A and B are shown apart, each in its own frame.
Chain A
Amino acid sequence: MVKAEAVHKSFGRLEVLSGIDLEVQPKEVMCVIGPSGSGKSTFLRCINHLEKIDAGRLSVDGELVGYRQRGDKLYELPDREVCQKRSEIGMVFQHFNLFPHMTALENLIEAPIRVKKASRSTAVAYARALLERVGLADKTNVYPNQLSGGQQQRVAIARALAMNPKLMLFDEPTSALDPELVGEVLDVMRRLAADGMTMIVVTHEMGFAREVGDTLVFMDGGVIVESGKPREVLANPRQERTRSFLSKVL
């Protein structure tokens, strides 16, 4: 589903990604952990072209992100095609980023109507079903700031799902939540994984990674230090760097 080969990315002189190689299979749940500044969020943002990579190859579903290859030349994709590609990838942010001037339902139907040109009635029906699925059927007409953090994040997940994405990216989805609200969001994600969604989750929730993740990736300094089955990596890290990180967070 996602394939990265020697992906590099710099902001000015600061190199944030120094050669990332990984592959995510369909229906796989990959959890990415690592200290802040290790490049894990940046990598996630590169996948749906919110950031442009400087070197290497990054592809989703066999198609390069942001470029088209013809012969041995790369052509930048025009905006419209970048948007089309993004619409197939759902993203959930640390700070939810719900649209505050729209109700929960309006947040969900906006993109299906504008981007996918779905009819309003279809979009509304699907949005209601999704809100029910995340346990917020009663919050349809409520504005985001009347919801708790956990509820907002569940609406944000539903908003991403409303586009029927083939891949979901989660950027520290529970980091901005009160501890007692983390569980409800993880529950939604757990069910999503069980339904067979391909997911890349940047997280600090080791319990979730161990239980739900198929693969665990530990990043530091813009490279992948270690990856493998979550249980093995968490129990027996092979690298010294992984060991010292885990000893601090577990």
Chain B
Amino acid sequence: MTEIAAGSPAPAPQAGRRPEAIKAIPVRHPWRWLSAVLVLAVAADAVYTLVTAPNMHWGVVGTFLFQRLIREGILLTLELTVLAMAIGIILGVILAVMRLSTNPVVSWLSWFYIWFFRGTPVLVQIFFWFNLALVLPHIGVGIPGGPLLFGVSTNVLITPLMAAVFGLGFNEAAYMAEIVRAGIISVEHGQTEAAQALGMTRLQVMQRIVLPQAMKVILPPTGNETISMLKTTSLAFVATVPELFTRAQQIASFNFYVIELLVVISIWYLVMTSILTIGQYYLERYFARGVQRELPMTPLQRFRRMLFTFRAPQAPLT
């Protein structure tokens, strides 16, 4: 193919020859540039106001950003998120499969669980587990109405951390169950039939055929839930779990730099959610295999493309 200078008239296609690729002047988008300038100006003003606020001690932010207590708080926040989401996802999948079971008792049980745990505030649930020892001092196995055969003190079994994990995780399971159920329903019924016709059992069909395909519907909202959970862990404050938010409150109660410490933990929350967002993106890419002919672009590829063209990214071919 020979190069022709931009702007020179394109030669008419000749018979028997492949015509040159079209090189047209793209449509200009002056409003995009104008709106970008406007947004940047407003953002710059907001940042300027905050940075130069007379009583804002940025030095304090710097001091506490990597302080030991804050670092420990971050670890605990991550631990809470992972544990609560693990309970939420595992229990959620089980509840979703139960909900769609042909056994009415199992299905009804799942419905009841979702109704209960979705219908009460998560804050109340965390408080409930935290204070369970008030009504049940011992937990164990025994004869109803008779003696306890084996048991431990509730306060030993349900530490503040466990109270927060149970409260957050059991509540999350109710939401995850609905997300997973939506994913399962979204898989075409022909898939189930084809698998059944091969002699696969209900459980095998679910595990091998339906759930893997449901993943592409389940994943985006699950990423959303995980990010949401990361921030909701701050409710563990009420169970005296020294996670990130609790730590900030504790430090601020000594030095009164309330806003500064909130800025510190906001930075950390943003960092963590950003990492999760990237992880979610690559996970979704993985589960898109066999569904899309071309994998969607990675954020880096998309960023480059956006920088160099400043156009709306095109939808990938399906």
Residues of A within 8 A of B (CB): 48, 50, 79-80, 83-91, 93, 95, 97-103, 110-111, 114-115, 143-146, 156, 159-160, 163
The answer to whether A163 and B199 touch across the interface, beta carbons within 8 angstroms, is: yes
Contacts of A86 in B (CB 8 A): 196-199
Residues of B within 8 A of A (CB): 188, 190-191, 193-202, 204, 208-209, 212-213, 289-291, 293
Q: Chain A CB within 10 Å — which of B195, B199, B204 has the most?
A: B199
Task: Pull 11 A–B residue pairs with CB atoms less than 8 Å apart, ordered by A.
Answer: A50-B196, A79-B201, A80-B201, A83-B196, A84-B199, A86-B198, A93-B194, A99-B213, A100-B290, A101-B289, A110-B200
The answer to whether A93 and B198 touch across the interface, beta carbons within 8 angstroms, is: no
* A-B contact sample (12 more), CB < 8 A, given A50-B197, A89-B197: A79-B201, A79-B202, A83-B199, A87-B198, A97-B188, A100-B290, A100-B291, A102-B290, A110-B200, A111-B200, A114-B200, A115-B198
Partner of A111, one of B198, B202, B291: B198
| Minimum C-beta distance from A98 to chain B (A) | 8
A156 (CB) vs chain B CBs: closest residue: B194
| Minimum C-beta distance from B183 to chain A (A) | 13
Contacts of A145 in B (CB 8 A): 290-291, 293
Main secondary structure of the interface of B (DSSP, over half): helix
| Minimum C-beta distance from A14 to chain B (A) | 19
Contacts of B191 in A (CB 8 A): 97, 99
10 tightest Cβ-Cβ pairs between the two chains A and B: A87-B199, A97-B194, A111-B198, A91-B197, A143-B290, A97-B190, A115-B199, A86-B199, A101-B290, A83-B199
B194 (CB) vs chain A CBs: closest residue: A97
Contacts of A97 in B (CB 8 A): 188, 190-191, 193-194
A159 to B191, CA, bound (A): 13
Q: Chain A CB within 10 Å — which of B194, B200, B208 has the most?
A: B194
The answer to whether A114 and B293 touch across the interface, beta carbons within 8 angstroms, is: no
| Minimum C-beta distance from B71 to chain A (A) | 41
Contacts of B195 in A (CB 8 A): 99, 111
Contacts of A91 in B (CB 8 A): 194, 197
B198 (CB) vs chain A CBs: closest residue: A111
B290 (CB) vs chain A CBs: closest residue: A143
Known: A93-B190, A97-B191, A114-B208. A144 touches B290 (CB 8 A): yes
B209 (CB) vs chain A CBs: closest residue: A99
The answer to whether A143 and B198 touch across the interface, beta carbons within 8 angstroms, is: no
| Minimum C-beta distance from B204 to chain A (A) | 5
A48 to B193, CA, bound (A): 11
The answer to whether B293 and A146 touch across the interface, beta carbons within 8 angstroms, is: yes
The answer to whether B291 and A101 touch across the interface, beta carbons within 8 angstroms, is: yes
B202 (CB) vs chain A CBs: closest residue: A79
A100 to B208, CA, bound (A): 12
The answer to whether B208 and A110 touch across the interface, beta carbons within 8 angstroms, is: yes
The answer to whether B213 and A101 touch across the interface, beta carbons within 8 angstroms, is: yes
The answer to whether A83 and B201 touch across the interface, beta carbons within 8 angstroms, is: yes
| Minimum C-beta distance from A99 to chain B (A) | 6
Q: Chain B CB within 10 Å — which of A90, A93, A114 has the most?
A: A114
Known: A114-B208, A145-B293. A99 touches B194 (CB 8 A): yes
A101 to B215, CA, bound (A): 11
Contacts of B209 in A (CB 8 A): 99
A207 to B196, CA, bound (A): 31
| Minimum C-beta distance from A242 to chain B (A) | 30
A80 to B201, CA, bound (A): 7
| Minimum C-beta distance from B153 to chain A (A) | 44
The answer to whether A95 and B200 touch across the interface, beta carbons within 8 angstroms, is: no
| Minimum C-beta distance from B198 to chain A (A) | 4
Contacts of B212 in A (CB 8 A): 101
B207 (CB) vs chain A CBs: closest residue: A114
A159 to B201, CA, bound (A): 17
| Minimum C-beta distance from A163 to chain B (A) | 6
Contacts of A98 in B (CB 8 A): 194
Contacts of A93 in B (CB 8 A): 190, 193-194
B192 (CB) vs chain A CBs: closest residue: A97
A101 to B288, CA, bound (A): 8
A207 to B212, CA, bound (A): 40
Contacts of B289 in A (CB 8 A): 101, 143
| Minimum C-beta distance from B22 to chain A (A) | 28
A124 to B190, CA, bound (A): 25
Known: A114-B204, A114-B208, A145-B290. A100 touches B198 (CB 8 A): no
Contacts of B190 in A (CB 8 A): 93, 95, 97
The answer to whether B293 and A159 touch across the interface, beta carbons within 8 angstroms, is: no
